Amino acid sequence: MGSTRTQLSLAEARRVAVAAQGLDRRTRPRPPTPTMRHLGGVLDRTGVWQVDSVNVLARAHLMPLFSRLGPYDTDLLRRAAESRPRRVVEFWAHVQAFMPVELWPVMQHRMRLHRDSPRWHQWLGDHDRVAQQVLSAVREHGPSTARDLDDGAPRSRDHWGWNWSEARRALDYLYLVGDLAIAGRTRQFEPVYDLPERVLPVEVLAAPALGAAEGVRELVRRAARHHGVATLSDLTDFYRLQQVRGQGQQAARDAVQDLVASGELLPVRVETWDRPAWLHRDARVPRAVDAAALLSPFDPLVWHRDRTERLFGFHSRIEIYVPAAHRRWGYYVLPFLLGDTLVARVDLKADRTAGDGALVVHAAYAEPGRAPQEQVADELARELREVARWLGLPRVVVGGRGDLAPALATRLVATSGAEEGSP
């Protein structure tokens, strides 16, 4: 039965969000041996997994699965993305992201907008021939990277009639408009392109494409379900409607009105929020949640920084591109979720350069007033051991930065023989 709530406390809103994202272990316990069925369940609840090349710990699209399933075989995701029957495919769904294959027909309205955009029309004016040649080359030769099309030659126009940068740009265009799809990635993380009919299931290609209004409504519907409770900016951001010409908050607002009229979204007031919000009719409002998870900074629960601060009172900033001397928390910092609260943040690295390697905790900081430090250290130590096991790293090494570091190091040494000291 759907919810009839019209008001939520901030704590209730947090629990709704955590449960909607499949992080409540009371209802979604971590399986002993995660399978493809479990992967599908996580995808159904999270919606999309942002793809990012940063590999200091594990690539961004791998972490949401770990946060919900615990240690799992990452080959599951490779098979889901590259083997038949494909279950996920990459597209510009949030940013570059894995999405369920059934979203392909929904995204075709976005593909049409890319095809008609002034930006790409201007580029095609000078490069249409290159785009057609690249498409023909992929059709003839099969799955290809930009370097494959360049045939390994110097950056000249002697072989195919274009240089590498032109081929790469053409592939970007053909991918965004749906003439090509990403069939996989190389060990160097380069995308491999192929024709959609050689990548996607037949039934997906045969499904009718949605018009612009229908497509936006479906994306807003999904965003509402994945968030549980959300504002207009939350719903707009999930599939980045604001970055697509002709969409944005007005298109999302129109979709919200339709979904309210149909009873799928329920207007609610959330304590301390200064803007309207909506609760999905199927959202659970748990009295408590049992969650303990390290979250990638690109996890759908926390990737929208305004929402994260509004919901959890947690200010985050991705500092990868900030000079080291100006970083506040560290290079690759993950929030730690305990119950319905973000209680700590840790700067992590998977270091494989010395010996058998180690999971390095460069810094660990407790969020003031959220939970007893001993409890946070105990739960975080347990999760760090699971991360190390998943990554095949035999040790956890804790550095000295951060107010939580001493308690965390002590707890790890007491329970698993981890090392304390400067990494």
| pLDDT tens digits, 25-47 | 999 999 999 999 999 999 999 99
Confirm if 169 and 127 have CB atoms less than 8 A apart: yes
pLDDT tens readout for residues 405-416: 999 999 999 876
pLDDT of residue 378: 97
pLDDT tens readout for residues 391-407: 999 999 999 899 999 99
pLDDT of residue 311: 98
pLDDT of residue 3: 65
pLDDT greater at residue 197 or residue 356: 197
Provide the token pair at 355.
Answer: 């010996």
Say if residue 158's pLDDT is above 50: no
The DSSP result for 26-89, as a single string, is TTSPPPSS--HHHHHHHHHHH--EE-----SSS-TTTHHHHHHH-S--THHHHHHHHSSSP-EE
| Lowest-pLDDT range of 15-19, 125-129, 149-153 | 149-153
Provide the token pair at 151.
Answer: 């045939």
pLDDT of residue 328: 94
Q: What CA–CA distance (Å, rounded) separates 131 from 172?
A: 10
How far apart are the two ends of the chain, measured CA to CA in Å?
A: 52
Confirm if 294 and 336 have CB atoms less than 8 A apart: yes
pLDDT greater at residue 224 or residue 119: 224
Say if residue 344's pLDDT is above 90: yes
Bridge partners for 8 per DSSP? 270
| Lowest-pLDDT range of 117-131, 279-293, 354-368 | 117-131
Say how far residue 297 (Cα) sits from the centre of its chain: 9
Give residue 80's identity as a one-letter amino acid code: A
Percent with pLDDT over 70 in the chain: 92
Q: What CA–CA distance (Å, rounded) separates 351 from 55?
A: 11
Mean predicted confidence (pLDDT) in 78-97: 96
| Lowest-pLDDT range of 79-88, 145-154, 337-346 | 145-154
pLDDT of residue 152: 41
109 closest CA partner among 97, 121, 91 = 91
Q: What CA–CA distance (Å, rounded) separates 3 from 266?
A: 8
Say if residue 360's pLDDT is above 80: yes
Q: What CA–CA distance (Å, rounded) separates 229 from 16?
A: 7
In sequence order, what are the residues at sequence separation of 6 or more whose Cβ sits closer than 8 angstroms to the Cβ of residue 81? 87, 88, 89, 90, 98, 184
Mean predicted confidence (pLDDT) in 253-279: 97
Confirm if 412 and 386 have CB atoms less than 8 A apart: no
Backbone angles phi, psi at 347, to 5 degrees: -95, 110
Confirm if 166 and 153 have CB atoms less than 8 A apart: no
Mean predicted confidence (pLDDT) in 360-382: 97
Q: What CA–CA distance (Å, rounded) separates 264 from 98?
A: 26
Other CB atoms within a 10 A radius of the CB of residue 229 amount to 28
pLDDT of residue 246: 63
Burial (CB < 10 A; 0-12, 13-18, 19+), residue 68, is buried
Say how far residue 55 (Cα) sits from the centre of its chain: 14
The DSSP result for 180-230, as a single string, is SEEEEE-TT--EEEE-GGGTS-HHHHHSPPP-HHHHHHHHHHHHHHHHSEE
For the chain, the residue count is 423
Say if residue 279's pLDDT is above 70: yes
Say if residue 417's pLDDT is above 60: no
Element (H or E) spanning 329, and its range? Answer: none
- Cα 294 to Cα 116, 130, 148: the distances in Å are 41, 45, 38
- Cα 314 to Cα 295, 303, 306, 308, 341: the distances in Å are 13, 12, 9, 6, 9
In sequence order, what are the residues at sequence separation of 6 or more whose Cβ sits closer than 8 angstroms to the Cβ of residue 406? 400
What is the pairing mode between strands 341-351 and 358-366?
A: antiparallel
For residue 163, what pLDDT band results from cuts at 50, 70 and 90?
low
Running DSSP on this structure, what letter comes out for residue 150? H
pTM of the model: 0.92
